[in-house]
Structure 1
Amino acid sequence: MSYSLNKEVKSTAGAALRKLFRFMKEERRSLFIAFFVMLVNAGITMLTPWFIGYIIDHFIMQKQYGPLLQYTGMLLGLYVVWAGTEYLQAKLMGGVGQRMLYALRNEVFNKLQQLPVAFFNQNRSGDLISRINNDTDTVNQFFSQSLMRFMDNIFSMVGVAVFVLSINWKLGAASLVPAVFILLFVLVIGPWVKKKNAISLKANGNLSADIQEGLHNFKTIIAFNRRDYFRKKFATANEENYKTAITAGIANNLFTPVFGFFSNIAQLIVLTLGIYFILEGSFTLGLLISFISYVQLFYQPLRELAALWASFQTAMAAWDRIAVILSLQSNLPVVGHTASSPVNKNIVMAFKEVAFQYPDGKEVLHPINFEMERGKTYALVGPTGGGKSTTAALIARLYDPTEGKVLLNGRDIRSYTTEERTNEIGFILQEPFLFTGTLKDNIVYGNPELYGLTDEQLLKAITEAGLGDLLQRFDAGLHTPLGAGGAVSLGQKQLIAFIRAVLRAPKIMILDEATANIDTITEKLLDGILKKLPAATTLIVIAHRLNTIENADEIFFVNDGAIVPAGTLEHAMDLLLNQKLAS
């Protein structure tokens, strides 16, 4: 199954907004209040021009200065209320936006947690980080700062249109004609603007991915003195990001001058026709001033809508990138368990006609069959790329076979929940990953039975598991800082991963080159600890060191899509030697 995030998701504005609004289910009260405040704000905005025209015609032109001061005070009061509604809108929508951002990021992150290893093999982490951080923030910026202004402007424009048509339908209709051309321009240019913003966001994600990849592998870059390669790669990505950002900026800024031009045309139309109507005696100076104010109130929001529309297009492009992730489903579903033939309780793991192929790749494993007994130690040997790690990944259900079944305790491994499966199977990788924090944080990770234990209780559990000597290799014990707070060697990281896995007491323990970065003395210590594991624990070892696999009960030779029982260690070495000579 392909998990590429490069596919396009084309959603209409209405569909996208409906999906986004589900993140605001808990915000209905705040949205209702904000909507009411917006109506009050729009009402005051529409009322004030008429109010000014009324004051001019009835008090200034008539030289009635007493009522003029009274009505001017009322107008000041309206402006104060308007300012209050502006502040309240910003406060309400700011809170709504931040809570929506929190929910949206949780949703995206939780979706990523549900996706299989195949997804992360096919997509770069830097781009995923960009989608979680940058794209969600772009959507939030629109909702918290632009959406209510967008709606406020729409309501104001509709109200203004009604007012000008009711005051003088001829002059009102003439003043609204340029708006038709603006609408046509938006309909034509809008999809192109959204596309350019999508390209810019993708380039930004690629830039983040290149930076993350380079910094993560900076030791290798320094070791091979390839800073020039890193610089060139970054320069290429940065230049691409620069070019797409410039194009997107030009696209976004096209609206402002076009909207401004038609706004000026509308005011020119009103001024020309208004003076003509005044000369005819069918219009007053106060109404003309009100009309000009209304036209400004109609087209000024349009100018603001130019920027808001660009923000909306950017937000929709960002949402499309987020929607790609939210639309994905894991290709490792839990299936129902059905009773089958009687189970041999001594068989803990079995492959039945299992074949596997990576997406868009060749078949790594041809249909194979083998069984592993409870309590035995199995070694997987073979040339690099022969399929050893893939076999281990299928045992741990990091992937599902493309054909056949993997049975755990006689059950289809797909019928186990994630919790059940991880309790049964432990996996120690060649390159362990540690979280920033303390040694204790990393030891208890993924083991609910250790959560909440005091240092003394945890030390007791570690000692009882025969891991106390390993802990002494860390100066600060359980409180040794890891990650950004402290540096440990690769061998020490492997020790921590080993402690973490052994404390889980899994029924199957997979060691994928787990001792490759550990000295011989420590390896012997770990070997002694493995011997203390419950007798029913099945060990599956992938290794190249002879001393690591010499005590295995059975050795499998994995190569060219096949898994062949190799018998003795000498026979396995002969197979490896023949393979090297053949290649």
Structure 2
Amino acid sequence: MNYNLDQLFEQQKKTSNVRALNKLFKLIPHEKKNLWWAFFIIIINAASKLIAPLLVGYAVDNAVTTGDYKSLLYYAAAVLATYLVASGTQYFQTKVMGSIGQRMLYTLRNALFNKLQELPIGFFNQNKTGDIISRVNNDTDKINQFFSQSLMQFIGNMAIMIGAGVCLLVIHIQLGAATLIPGVCIFAFTLIVSPWIKKRNAISLKTTGNLSAEVQESLSNFKVVIAFNRRDYFRSRFSKVNNENYDASIKAGLANNLFVPVYGLGANFAQLIVLVYGISLIIAGNFTVGLLVSYIAYAQSFYNPLQQIAALWTNFQLAMAGWDRISQILNLESDLAIVEITNTPQHKNAVLSFEKVHFSYPEGKEVLHDINFNLEKGKTYALVGPTGGGKTTTASLIARLFDPTSGTIYLNGKNLKSYTTKERTHKIGFILQEPFLFSGTVKDNILYGNSSYENTSDEELIKLLHNSGLEELLSLFNKGLQTEVEDDSSISLGQKQVIAFMRAVLRNPNLLILDEATANIDTVTEQLLDKILKKLPKETTLIIIAHRLNTIESADEIFFINNKQVEPAGSLEEAVTKLMQDKRNS
């Protein structure tokens, strides 16, 4: 399955902003009550701001022009009260939406991380780690900023605009219509330009992800950069992606700032229309000075929020571009679904069977072609072959890190696809050449993902290790189970491999795969591990992938993997002969 996010982005159908917002709100159904509460506060805030201009107009016509200063004080007190209500509601609005925004960020990142946990290894192979991190951190924060800072301002300004527009038309419909003409033109301009601005922001976010990915990759491999003195290559790669990000950010910034001058120009035209048309109406005796004052205030109440919306709309487009990138991941489904199988079990006498298995990586050449073999319980099998021949791919299919393109793999007679993840990982152990450990202690890493020993004490774990023949390995760590595992410098690669070995063996799997598992271990430790392997339960099947011949000489059967085929190699001498022939042919 294709999980390449860049390619999926190009193929992705454009989603309307309304539909995108609807999907976003579905992630926070528990916030519906708070959102309605915030909306109610916004309406109160907008109403209080719209009453003030009308009170000022009445004060001019009924108090200022008549000299009724006592009434003027009442009008002034009423206007002050509306301003106080507006300030109070503004505070509560900011407080409520700030809380909603933070909870949304929490929920969104949780949803995104949980989705990443569900996706297969193929997704991570096809995408850069830095770009994924950028989506989890940077893109979700864009949405949080919009919700906590911009959304309610946006809705509040829209409410004030609508209210001001209604007041303009109610007071004088002809003057109101003329005043709103620039607003209609601005609205049409916004509809036309918004998709282009959203696209510019999406490209900018993508280049930010690429920049993050390049930094992450370069720093991860910095030892190699130093060892080969290729800082120039590091600088060149970084300079390229940094320039791309700079260019995209400049273009996005120019696009985002396009609305502000256009909206400002529209507001100025509207003010000019009000003054010219309004004064002509006053001269004709069809309008009062107080109403003109109110009208100017309402025109400002319509166009000033519109200018603020220009900036808020930019944030909205940026948030929607970020949501598009996030929803790409949320919409993905794992291609390793659990399948209910009702067929009669096959190959009952074999612990593992390949039946007409074909495999190709996405958009790649076929790696395995029509593979058929059986592995018996309790035996040791070795997979040998040239680099790139398909050994690790075969092991990955056995562990169900990938599914065959076609054909079936059986584990204990059942289709491998029918096992749950928990069942499969309990039955199949996989020790990689480069093990991954978490920050914590040796004990934390040994018991990682093993629910059977979740609350085991140090003493109980040492006893378990002793019964499994693993206790002697603890002597390799200066503080035993409580040795801290913090970073690459805290323990050696060989020690990491030992921890991964202990973690896998302690599960007592039916099938244990060792993919170059002893490549980074010294000879003494390797001999120690070999003794432990011989103490495994008799029904445990071992699959060993190795280049060193001494690690496979005790195998019951050897398979040679190359040219898309998996064939029995016979004895160790025959396997060596095949390897030599293959090297000469290549």
Counterpart in the other structure of 1:3: 3
Kindly provide the CA deviation profile for residues 325-372 of structure 1, in whole angstroms up to 9, marking residues without a partner as x: 11111111111122325653x410000111111111111111011000
1:49 corresponds to: 53
Q: Which residue matches 2:66? A: 62
Instruction: Give the alignment partner of residue 301 of structure 1, picking from 297, 301, 305.
Output: 305
Q: Which runs of structure 2 are paired with 1:156-195 in the superposition (5 Å)?
A: 156-195=160-199
Give how far 1:253 is off. Answer: 0.2
Counterparts of 1:16 and 1:503, CA distance in 2 = 47
Tell me the residue number matched to 1:87. Answer: 91
Determine the structure 1 residue equivalent to 2:293: 289
Deviation (angstroms), 1:206: 0.4
Deviations 1:502-538 (A, max 9, x none): 1111110000000000000000001111111111100
Find the counterpart in structure 2 of residue 232 from structure 1.
Answer: 236
Report % sequence identity.
57
Partner Cα distance (2:531, 2:261) in 1: 77
Whether 1:538 and 2:541 are equivalent positions in the alignment is yes
Which amino acid in structure 2 is aligned with residue 179 of structure 1?
Answer: G
TM-superposed deviation, 1:574 = 1.1
Paired residue for 2:525? 522
Of residues 424, 431, 434, the one that matches 1:431 is 434
| Residue pair 1:436, 1:485 contacting (<8 A) in 2 also | no
Secondary structure of 2:201's match? helix
Contact 2:45 2:89 in 1 (8 A): yes
Contact 1:354/1:401, CA 8 A, preserved across alignment: yes
Contact in 1 for aligned 2:115/2:329 (Cα 8 Å): yes
Among 556, 562, 584, the alignment partner of 1:553 is 556
How do 1:380-399 and structure 2 match up within 5 A? 380-399=383-402
The 8 Å contact of residues 46 and 159 in structure 2, kept in 1 or not, is answered as: yes
Q: Alpha-carbon deviation of 1:406?
A: 0.4
Q: 1:131 to 1:581 in 2, by over 3 A?
A: same
CA distance in structure 1 between the aligned counterparts of 2:64 and 2:331, rounded to whole angstroms: 64
Q: Specify whether residues 342 and 20 from structure 1 end up closer, same or farther in structure 2 by C-alpha distance, changes over 3 A only.
A: closer
Is the CA contact (8 Å cut-off) linking 2:346 and 2:410 kept in structure 1? Answer: no
Deviation at 1:32, TM superposition (A): 1.3
Moved more, 416-425 or 65-74: 65-74
Which residue of the partner structure matches residue 354 of structure 1? 357
The equivalent residue for 1:151 is: 155
Flag the 1:92–1:134 CA change in 2: closer, same or farther, 3 A. Answer: same
Moved segments of 4+, more than 4 Å: none
Q: Cα offset for 1:483?
A: 2.8
CA distance in 2 between counterparts of 1:172 and 1:579 reads 86
Residue ranges of structure 2 left out of the alignment (5+ in a row): none
Alpha-carbon shift at residue 258 of structure 1 (Å): 0.3
Q: Would the aligned equivalents of 1:509 and 1:539 in 2 still touch at CA under 8 Å?
A: yes
1:275 is matched with: 279
- What SS does structure 2 have at the residue aligned with 1:375? coil
Tell me the alpha carbon deviations over residues 468-526 of structure 1, each in whole angstroms, 9 at most, x when there is no partner: 12112111222222234962111111111111111111110000000000000000001
Query: CA shift at 1:437, angstroms?
Result: 2.1
Q: 1:205 aligns to what?
A: 209
Let me know the Cα RMSD of the aligned residues.
Answer: 1.2
Secondary structure of the corresponding residue to residue 295 of structure 1: helix
Amino acid at match of 2:268: N
Q: 1:449 maps to which residue?
A: 452
Is structure 2 residue 90 aligned with structure 1 residue 75? no
The equivalent residue for 1:31 is 35
Distance 1:453 1:424 in 2: 21
C-alpha offsets along residues 201-227 of structure 1, whole Å, 9 cap, x if unaligned?
A: 110010000001001111111111111
Superposed displacement of residue 316, structure 1? 1.1
The residue type paired with residue 459 of structure 1 is I
Larger displacement relative to structure 2 (57-66 or 178-187): 57-66
Whole-angstrom distance in 1 between the partners of 2:297 and 2:235: 56
Matched-pair contact (CA < 8 Å) for 1:126–1:208: yes
1:568 maps to which of 568, 571, 579: 571
SS at match of 2:286: coil
How far off its partner does 1:70 sit? 2.6
Cα–Cα, structure 1 residues 36 and 342, in superposed 2: closer, same or farther, change >3 Å?
Answer: closer
Quick one: distance in 2 between partners of 1:408 and 1:505?
Answer: 16
Quote how far apart the aligned CAs of 1:454 are: 2.1
- 1:220 is matched with which residue: 224, 248, 253? 224
Query: For residues 431 and 540 of structure 2, what CA distance do their matches in structure 1 show?
Result: 15
Aligned to 2:492: 489
> In structure 2, the residue corresponding to 1:23 is in which secondary structure?
coil
Q: State the alpha-carbon separation in 2 of the partners of residues 157 and 478 from structure 1.
A: 66
Counterparts of 2:147 and 2:556, CA distance in 1 = 63
Alpha-carbon distance between aligned partners in 2 of 1:414 and 1:463, rounded to the nearest angstrom? 35
- Does residue 365 in structure 1 map to residue 368 in structure 2? yes
Counterpart contact for 2:56–2:75, Cα < 8 Å:
no
| CA deviation map 1:93-136 (0-9, x unaligned) | 11111111111111111111111111111111110111111111
Task: Give the drift of 1:559.
Answer: 0.9
Q: Bigger CA drift: 566-575 or 513-522?
A: 566-575
Aligned partners of 1:350 and 1:407 also within 8 Å: yes
The answer to whether the 8 Å contact 2:345/2:414 transfers is no
Q: Determine the structure 2 residue equivalent to 1:460.
A: 463
Q: TM-score, normalised by structure 2?
A: 0.97
Structure 2 residue aligned with 1:414? 417
Could you say which residue in structure 2 is the equivalent of 1:253?
A: 257
Paired residue secondary structure (2:383): strand
How much has 1:169 moved relative to structure 2? 1.1
Instruction: Report if aligned partners of 2:355, 2:408 keep a CA contact under 8 Å in 1.
Output: yes
* Structure 1: distance between partners of 2:192 and 2:280: 35
Who is 2:105 aligned against? 101
Structure 1 unaligned segments of length 5 or more: list them: none
Alpha carbons of 1:341 and 1:269: their partners in 2 closer, same or farther (altered >3 Å)?
A: closer
Distance 1:247 1:535, change over 3 A: same
**Which is further off, 446-455 or 504-513?**
446-455
> Which stretch shifts more, 87-96 or 450-459?
450-459
Partners of 1:418 and 1:364 in 2: how far apart?
25
> Equivalents in 2 of 1:32, 1:452: separation in Å?
45
Q: 2:24 aligns with which of 20, 24, 30?
A: 20
Q: Partners of 2:164 and 2:199 in 1: how far apart?
A: 33
Secondary structure class of the residue paired with 1:2: coil
Letter in 2 for 1:498: F
CA distance in 2, matches of 1:480, 1:185: 64
Alpha-carbon deviation of 1:281?
Answer: 2.1
Structure 2 counterpart of 1:2, one-letter code? N
User: Which of residues 138, 144, 156 is equivalent to 1:140?
Assistant: 144
C-alpha contact 2:350 2:375 (8 A) present in aligned 1: yes
Distance 2:183 2:158 in 1: 13
For the pair 1:470 / 2:453, whether they are aligned, the reply is: no
